[in-house]
Structure 1
């Protein structure tokens, strides 16, 4: 035990406790300790607790606990407990063990990637005991957990008041110095926003990978050159964490073969489920998130190796890469297509959060979410400050595409966007993300959609009725009879 570790028998000395000391929990505990907070630490496997204190005890004050009882006894009241274990049954098991040991007014935070519906259930159950339960989305990976993540807590205002000093200390700081954390809303709001963050992350990564694929197979650039293109993009409006790490990945050579690293990585992208949750929840809410959906489906398709192998010989276009001058012009078109597509995908996420906020009465402020995402999280990007400003100027803004600045940029980008997608089609390069974003943009700006025919078809085969454009009411046509129109319910 290090000199800075305290004897758990003393009790009541720690301002906060962390249980679950895998990478994320360990790093959050270290982050808290580095900021001067005495941290009680506990893990089901005692060896992890010892390893944390022995390896990092010099970073701050830790109170190691061998049992849940020792852990809870070590905390000042009202107790603040951060649970960092796997989502699902493991989280329920930890909460079941902690609940009898807690008192009214204590605060329990689940910092894992829990489904927001589980968070709502847990919040109700612990509220009955007088315990505040907070579902907090934490983004930034293991590095962010240690050096400053984006933190999205839901729960009661009282819980936020108790947690705010701690969370603002350890959260990432935006360029203006503001901490990247804020109270998102009641019960499952924090975990819902984190889920949508991850859905947008899926879309963002898919769009970037498609841009790379087009530069590779249409422009004819090698990975090292594409890395330079991405570095240039990262100095402008596309400045973001994902763009920066993409440049680093593409510039990296495999130390074993000497080949570009990206070429030795199997082209089957895995997923942990939050992107799929986003799409499933969007379907339940009736919200279109085509960019996120296409990203999730693209990962799924990449993993169906037998299907892909069986289809590898299907006919398609065989066009040579563009000439150098044309390739440079095309690269500029891809930058515009990527930027416009990112805006559409991010906007779909905000539309989904607004719909959920109305459905569950959460009162989520879209500008606050943009502010929280400016630092620490995986989708942090320079243009998020402009998103925050847009919602600050008009909190009721229905879509980012209605903001004058963003609308102007997307309008200017659309010729290049269309050309890039068309060139991809001509070369047989799949761009489900870029094309879905463009289709969504066109659907939003269309004065009239073909959904009229779909609804007419539904009425024909299922008597599902329809509304008219020229008068109020709901109607049905007698398709199997004389095709006269009757008012529904008459």
Structure 2
């Protein structure tokens, strides 16, 4: 990846852009181009006649400069001078090269610049038009701001110190994910600073040694001193925290705060609880520091080659880190980044939490499917071959890795036979279940997968129980391979319905305005739950918030329903544990009923607690209480 950069020098006419560009060009030995030279003739005539340019006049001019920048970047860095007074102008100039641009804003007062313009001769821009430029000026935030009171030589010196010697992005914490993200950023041409703590005899020169091991990090800066790390970064500083969730994040924030400046941006890339992210967002806002909660999915390989990223926080702050995150993210089938602004506060960590909940179920369903095939006396290779054939109709990342897992052998046996059956967890499934309960959403499948993991952890008690309650029947279940496949597909649809329904409810409750179609899109690449089904949901969510109302999915459920009923009933009769598969059909049976058993519950509640109830024969919604005895 090329390390070439475009240095855009901007500001109102008369601020000295061309002078500074010329000096900087000589210092860096790269070409510079004056944007004024690329105005079409009609623009020059308009300005010469004393008329200000409008946005339509500037559109083609800005597009020309963007193409110029892209052409130059093929072979070298360059400097382009352009007033670029509005944010939307800079967006045009940044188009397709935002990860390769540095903005330098030459700032001065109206009177100071007017005096300079009046001293110039032969320039088509008169001082009379200066006020119109100040009127539309939108000062950039993500830039190097330089006061034109400095001498031209000192301005160039400051630019070199800030942009040439300092890093664009900082990574705090060099665990597995942190290291992979560092290499990803460096491979994409970003100059980065890396920090890892120093602990005598335990963690010594971690960042330095890491840098030495990978050639792509040769241009990076390595630190174990926080002050030096922070000072190595361009302002506003962008620092991604890749440390353990929980109190560690708070300790790191407090360690960093004395060294930060207003408008610096901290990005939490770990699996933090969304409520804690909101607390940190609010706390740092009082310090004029931006806090971005960014869910990152994809594991070690995804972090290196392209993860799915779910950032949330202040939207303007996100725009300042957008070029970095979207560049390193995975790409979807249309080559768009699997990274998008989710919403404010902790919404990014919320959707990552639910992502992990959906992941829990997807993993559990595959585990249950394998258990069923084992009961049919298939060996791991045979099961792998069956699952391999499923890729044609229901492929996913988890299906692919499960096939690989089943085929892995150690000596003369399959490795899967040697792994202790106690599943761990890091809390996100638990948080998802709690959030579903708090929001009142029936996320029953994530709960079933979570409690299946909890059950697995009671290995000794399970061993004892197996002796006391050994299966009475040893016969094989009467289930076809096709029926198992269809039951699996059915359960996955219900899982995705429940997961996205939880996100929709949270979005409504917290006013996050989450775009479910866009969320599904960034989950089609780079992440653990990417699948053909997820790709289908991108289109479904463009017209439906409830996937069960989509005609195609509705027909799929009706077609698959018979198989899941057959599989679940056979497994129950043959004492095969399938908590998530069985929950999928139980949920639908409970959910797809106009009249449920809840009327009994309401009567019971009114009997012992006078909680009241509503009547079917009273459409007003009035609440009643009865003396039941």
2:409 aligned with 1:253? yes
Q: Give the CA deviation at 1:268.
A: 1.0
* 1:379 match: secondary structure: coil
Q: C-alpha displacement at 1:10, in angstroms?
A: 6.1
Which residue is 1:414 aligned to?
561
Counterpart-to-counterpart distance in 2, 1:259 and 1:466:
61
- In the alignment, structure 1 residue 92 sits paired with structure 2 residue 245: no
2:497 to 341, 347, 354: 347
Secondary structure of the residue that 1:108 maps to in structure 2? strand
Residue in 1 that maps onto 2:429: 275
Gap change, CA 1:40 and 1:11, over 3 Å in 2:
farther
The structure 1 residue matched to 2:387, chosen from 220, 230, 254, is 230
For residue 130 of structure 2, what is the aligned residue in structure 1?
Answer: none
Root mean square deviation of aligned Cα: 1.5
The aligned runs of 1:246-325 (5 Å cut-off) are 246-255=402-411, 258-313=412-467, 314-321=469-476
Which of the residues 208, 212, 223 maps onto 1:65? 223
- Give the Cα separation in 1 of the matches to 2:395 and 2:516: 21
Work out the CA distance in 2 between the residues paired with 1:437 and 1:223: 25
**Structure 2 match to 1:485:** none
Partners of 2:268 and 2:409 lie apart in 1 by 39
Whole-angstrom distance in 2 between the partners of 1:57 and 1:475: 75
* Contact kept? 1:33, 1:62, Cα under 8 Å: yes
8 Å Cα contact 1:11/1:73 also seen in 2: no
**Aligned partners of 2:170, 2:392: CA distance in 1, in Å?**
41
Cα distance in 1, alignment partners of residues 581 and 510 from structure 2: 32
Cα displacement string for residues 270-329 of structure 1 (whole angstroms, at most 9, x for unaligned residues) = 11111111101111111111100000000000111232122112143323336xxx66xx
Per-residue deviation, 1:100: 2.3
Unaligned runs of 5+ in 1: 1-8, 481-490
CA distances 1:447-480 after superposition (whole Å, capped 9, x unpaired): 1111111111111111111111111201111124
2:529 is matched with which residue? 379
Is 1:201 aligned with 2:359? yes
Q: Quote the residue 1:113 is aligned against.
A: 271
Once the two structures are superposed, residues 153-180 of structure 1 have per-residue CA deviations (whole angstroms, 9 ceiling, x without a partner) of: 0111112111111111100111221110
Whole-Å separation in 2 of the counterparts to 1:98 and 1:59: 24
Residues in 2 aligned to 1:294 and 1:22: alpha-carbon distance in whole angstroms? 31
Cα deviation, residue 59, structure 1: 4.5
Secondary structure of the residue that 2:205 maps to in structure 1? Answer: helix
Contact 2:267 2:294 in 1 (8 A): yes
- Larger mean CA deviation between 98-107 and 122-131 belongs to 98-107
TM (normalized to structure 1)?
0.91
Aligned residue-pair number? 460
Deviation of 1:57 after TM superposition, in Å, equals 3.9
Separation (CA, whole Å) in 2 of partners of 1:24 and 1:10: 30
Contact 1:150–1:375, Cα closer than 8 Å, also in 2:
yes
Residue 208 of structure 2 is matched in structure 1 by 50
Structure 2: 5+ residue stretches without partners: 1-159, 199-203
Q: 2:326 — aligned with what?
A: 168
User: Residues of 1 paired with 2:284 and 2:238: CA distance?
Assistant: 14
Kindly state the Cα deviation for residue 47 of structure 1 after the two structures are TM-superposed. 1.9
Does the 8 Å contact 2:205/2:224 carry over to 1?
no
TM-fit CA distance, 1:254: 2.2
Please say if residues 38 and 60 of structure 1, whose CA atoms lie closer than 8 Å, have aligned partners that are also in contact.
no
Distance 1:203 1:317 in 2: 29
Q: Where do 4+ consecutive residues of structure 1 move more than 3 Å?
A: 9-12, 57-60
Cα deviation, residue 386, structure 1: 1.2
Please say which structure displays the higher CA radius of gyration: 2
Describe the superposition over 1:390-428 as per-residue Cα deviations: whole angstroms up to 9, x where unpaired.
Answer: 11123xx2x211111111111100001110111111211
Partner of 1:27: 180
TM superposition shift of 1:235: 2.4
- The structure 2 residue matched to 1:333, chosen from 461, 465, 483, is 483
CA distance in 1, matches of 2:430, 2:212: 39
User: Quick one: which of 112, 134, 137 aligns to 2:292?
Assistant: 134
| Mapping for residues 373-452 of structure 1, pairs under 5 Å | 373-394=523-544, 397=545, 399-452=546-599
How far apart are the structure 2 equivalents of 1:383 and 1:345? Answer: 11
Contact 1:10–1:74 (CA under 8 A) maintained in structure 2: no
1:269: how far off?
0.7
Which deviations, in whole Å up to 9, do the C-alpha atoms of 1:248-273 show, x marking residues without a partner? 11111123xx2222111111111111
Counterpart-to-counterpart distance in 2, 1:78 and 1:113: 25
Provide the C-alpha distance between the structure 2 equivalents of 1:66 and 1:380, rounded to a whole number of angstroms. Answer: 36
The 3-state SS of whatever aligns with 2:409 is coil
SS at match of 2:512: coil
What residue is the counterpart of 2:604 in the other structure? Answer: 457
